[in-house]
């Protein structure tokens, strides 16, 4: 059951807002939550969370963006310890070593939020409490010159009523890429250009997570949880254009360098007050800060020259306050009532200086804006075991958002929206069996536009503006997308850990956001706007098969469909939707000291009609990951990992009328060795 049904008695350990459990608890959980356990997170030794998540049922990853149901960025609600992440957050900024588990909810929750048209992913960080721990690990890559070293340490202990923990990690990741880009046009003046694009990137990261918890009088408790992170991202790239026919771009030879520093702080305090008859009150207050500073230089050479230097920074400061009251109304009947509020201020500054290579000034662009987002939500949810075989969840959440934007070069903009979201979920264990059950869920959810989508500031391309490489600009009149969702599923359990399930879903999305691509006096530009209705649906299959005492098979597959009414078919799907995903994994415990694992992940995107004139195609991607774990003794083990063993090239095409762009980029195989020790 979820957190409402499992309200802890007064003598229980420190409770938190997050739900708990393992992957098997969804059998009795009316919400059907899938929990990715600590052992699953560490199985392949991933150095990023997106690698862990792409193996999960119904989850896909594209360019580091994680989504559910194949839908693109923004349709999936991402939480850290139950709180929404800030704009621009990368899930890979959290080291897997600091994560206790990941909860995946296919249906929205009144407690956690309804900005979840596709579903919710809640990342639960390790916290204080429990037995004493002294765990350390060290990892290195095995590629010459690119060791990708990483180390982590976790300390935890308990002294009387106080428990503490401290986690820290340090890593450096080096990646490089190479791509061929083929641009063609068959208009009045046919042209063709082939560009060789090369680049390298180094990310150095340090993270710290100190936590404290206290048991107070009469069963009350207080918990403090903090995450500190600082990283530096350095990237270099160059492009060399070969002209086959027609005219070259403005800068057929160009290069860039970007240096970014990111500092993040999340801190919250949770007070839990035990009340009579098992009821309790939880109040949580938090502060968050995220600051990103960028120094970017573009150098272009051709008939003319350009040196574009851009200094920018973006700062997100937010405060949150939430609370909930939990009470048992009877045997198997729980009620939760609460609120969730926050205020976020995002400031962004950008100073662009354009000069020739000889230092002749060409222009200065000085822009900044400030966006203030206020959020207030009230919710109630009731979980009830109606009969021994029928469980029900009824939730209602009302959420209001207000976004105010002011800028140096734009008029003040204000956007206000409020959304009531009812949620109904049922779990029915079929008669005369303990192994078969059916789920049904109905929900109303929404997707709010981001601050960047609302700011009418033009982001220009440095070279080769075209319908397949346009400028972009926000739209202050953008409204939230609203959706009704229905899903159902059947699950069959067998043996100790065996299961097979099939689930289907459908969504009707109103005021769907699409792109308007057009030509103005400065070149091609793309801007978002609301345009009618879209429908999305899909089916998911999952199984866990213990083939033998030492051999387990895991597999999941998903197929997704969608259609946008305002765009002519065929393939008038939502722009970032993944058509299908597949995972097949095997774990073999060769003997008590050795465990071997392998997982094949495949993703199929295919063709999308993005606008009536623009069509894209993304080729299939296949990843094979392998791991071998050797338990050297009771306190240490060695892990050898191979990521992306197939190193498949990535294909992406765009076509607008008689203009086309074809891009083929390579990928790398990464081999790593890790030593994990309990001190």
419 touches 448 (CB < 8 A): no
Place of tokens 């405060």: 319
Residue 18 within any structural domain of the chain? no
The 3-state DSSP class for residue 271 equals strand
Residue 530: band (very low, low, confident or very high) from pLDDT cuts 50, 70, 90: very high
Higher pLDDT, 148 or 533: 533
Q: Average pLDDT in the 306-317 region? A: 94
Residue 126 within any structural domain of the chain? yes
Q: How many CA atoms lie within 13 A of 149 on its CB side?
A: 4
Q: Are strands 471-473 and 523-530 parallel, antiparallel or unpaired?
A: parallel
Buried b (16+ CB within 10 A) or exposed e, 180-193: ebebbbeeeeebeb
Q: Average pLDDT in the 487-494 region? A: 94
| Residue 308, number of CB atoms within 10 A of its CB | 21
Residue 10 within any structural domain of the chain? no
CA 69, 73, 76, 82 dihedral sign is: positive
Question: Rounded to whole angstroms, how far apart are CA atoms 507 and 484?
Answer: 6
pLDDT of residue 143: 72
Q: Is the pLDDT of residue 514 over 60?
A: yes
pLDDT digits (tens, 9 = 90+) for 593-625: 999 999 999 999 999 999 998 999 999 999 999
Residue 372 C-alpha from the chain's centroid: 23
Residue 41 phi/psi, 5-degree rounding, is -60, -40
Q: Is the pLDDT of residue 231 over 90?
A: yes
Higher pLDDT, 526 or 2: 526
pLDDT of residue 145: 62
Q: Is the pTM of this model over 0.75?
A: yes
| Residue 468, number of CB atoms within 10 A of its CB | 22
Q: Give the DSSP letter string of 247-258.
A: ---S-SEEEEEE
Residue 7 within any structural domain of the chain? no
Q: Is the pLDDT of residue 149 over 50?
A: yes
Closest CA to 162 of 221, 74, 110: 221
pLDDT digits (tens, 9 = 90+) for 412-428: 888 888 999 999 999 99
Structural domains in the chain (count): 1
With 0-12 / 13-18 / 19 or more C-beta atoms within 10 angstroms meaning exposed / middle / buried, residue 167 is buried
Strand ranges in 430-497 using DSSP code E only, listed in sequence order: 436-447, 458-459, 471-473, 481-494
Residue 187: band (very low, low, confident or very high) from pLDDT cuts 50, 70, 90: low
Domain span at 514: 23-678
With 0-12 / 13-18 / 19 or more C-beta atoms within 10 angstroms meaning exposed / middle / buried, residue 520 is exposed
Question: Rounded to whole angstroms, how far apart are CA atoms 327 and 334?
Answer: 6
Residue 603 within any structural domain of the chain? yes
Q: For the chain, what percent of residues have pLDDT higher than 90?
A: 66
pLDDT of residue 601: 95
Residue 13 within any structural domain of the chain? no
The 3-state DSSP class for residue 406 equals strand
Q: What is the CATH number of the domain that holds 275?
A: 2.40.170.20
Residue 352 within any structural domain of the chain? yes
Q: Average pLDDT in the 262-284 region? A: 93
Residue 660 within any structural domain of the chain? yes
Q: Is the pLDDT of residue 287 over 90?
A: yes
pLDDT of residue 4: 39
């Amino acid at each position: 059951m979820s957190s409402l049904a499992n309200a802890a008695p007064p003598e229980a350990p420190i409770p938190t807002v997050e739900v708990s459990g393992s992957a098997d608890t969804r059998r009795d959980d009316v919400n059907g939550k899938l929990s990715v356990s600590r052992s699953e997170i560490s199985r392949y030794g991933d150095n990023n969370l997106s690698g862990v998540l792409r193996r999960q049922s119904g989850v896909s990853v594209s360019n580091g963006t994680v989504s559910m149901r194949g839908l693109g960025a923004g349709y999936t609600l991402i939480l850290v310890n139950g709180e929404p992440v800030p704009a621009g957050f990368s899930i890979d900024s959290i080291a897997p070593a600091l994560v206790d588990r990941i909860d995946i909810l296919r249906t929205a929750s009144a407690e956690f939020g309804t900005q979840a048209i596709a579903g919710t992913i809640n990342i639960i960080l390790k916290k204080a409490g429990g037995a004493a721990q002294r765990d350390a690990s060290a990892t290195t890559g095995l590629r010459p010159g690119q060791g990708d070293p990483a180390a982590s340490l976790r300390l935890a202990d308990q002294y009387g009523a106080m428990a503490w923990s401290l986690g820290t990690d340090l890593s450096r990741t080096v990646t490089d890429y190479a791509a061929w880009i083929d641009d063609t046009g068959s208009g009045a003046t046919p042209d063709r250009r082939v560009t060789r694009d090369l680049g390298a990137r180094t990310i150095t990261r340090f993270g710290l997570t100190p936590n404290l918890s206290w048991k107070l009088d009469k069963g009350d408790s207080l918990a403090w949880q903090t995450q500190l992170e600082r990283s530096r991202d350095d990237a270099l790239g160059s492009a060399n254009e070969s002209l086959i026919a027609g005219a070259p771009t403005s800068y057929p030879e160009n290069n860039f360098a970007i240096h970014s520093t990111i500092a993040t702080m999340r801190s919250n305090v949770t007070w839990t007050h035990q009340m009579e008859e098992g009821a309790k009150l939880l109040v949580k207050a938090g502060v968050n800060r995220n600051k990103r500073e960028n120094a970017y230089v573009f150098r272009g050479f051709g008939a003319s020259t350009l040196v574009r230097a851009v200094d920018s920074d973006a700062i997100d400061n937010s405060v949150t306050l939430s609370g909930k009251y939990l009470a048992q109304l009877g045997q198997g009947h729980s009620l939760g009532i609460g609120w969730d509020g926050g205020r976020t201020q995002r400031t962004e500054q950008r100073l662009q200086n354009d000069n020739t290579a000889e230092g002749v000034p060409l222009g200065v662009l000085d822009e900044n804006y400030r966006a203030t987002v206020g959020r207030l939500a009230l919710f109630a949810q009731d979980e009830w075991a109606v009969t021994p075989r029928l469980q029900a969840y009824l939730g209602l959440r009302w959420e209001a958002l207000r976004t105010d934007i002011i800028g140096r070069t734009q008029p003040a903009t204000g956007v206000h929206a409020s959304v009531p979201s009812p949620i109904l979920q049922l779990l029915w264990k079929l008669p005369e069996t303990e192994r078969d059950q059916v789920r049904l869920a109905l929900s109303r959810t929404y997707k709010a536009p981001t601050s960047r989508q609302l700011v009418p500031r033009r982001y220009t391309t440095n070279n080769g503006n075209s319908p397949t490489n346009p400028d972009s600009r926000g739209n202050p009149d953008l409204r939230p997308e609203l959706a009704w969702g229905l899903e159902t599923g059947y699950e069959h359990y067998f043996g100790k850990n065996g299961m097979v399930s099939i689930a289907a879903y459908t969504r009707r999305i109103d005021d769907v956001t699409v792109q308007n691509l057009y030509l103005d006096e400065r070149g091609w530009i793309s801007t978002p706007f609301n345009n009618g209705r879209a429908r999305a649906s899909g089916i998911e299959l999952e199984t866990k098969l213990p083939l033998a005492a030492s051999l387990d098979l895991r597999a999941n597959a998903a197929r997704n469909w969608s259609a946008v009414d305002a765009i002519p078919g065929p393939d008038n799907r939502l722009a970032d939707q993944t058509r299908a995903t597949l995972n097949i994994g095997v774990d073999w415990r060769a003997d008590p000291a050795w465990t071997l694992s392998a997982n094949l992940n495949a993703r199929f995107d295919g063709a999308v009609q993005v606008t009536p004139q623009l069509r894209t195609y993304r080729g299939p991607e296949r990843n094979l990951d392998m791991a071998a774990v050797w338990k050297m003794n009771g306190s240490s083990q060695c892990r050898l990992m191979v990521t992306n063993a197939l190193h498949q090239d990535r294909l992406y095409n765009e076509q607008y009328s008689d203009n086309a762009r074809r891009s083929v980029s390579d990928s790398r195989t990464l081999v790593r060795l890790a030593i994990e020790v309990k001190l």
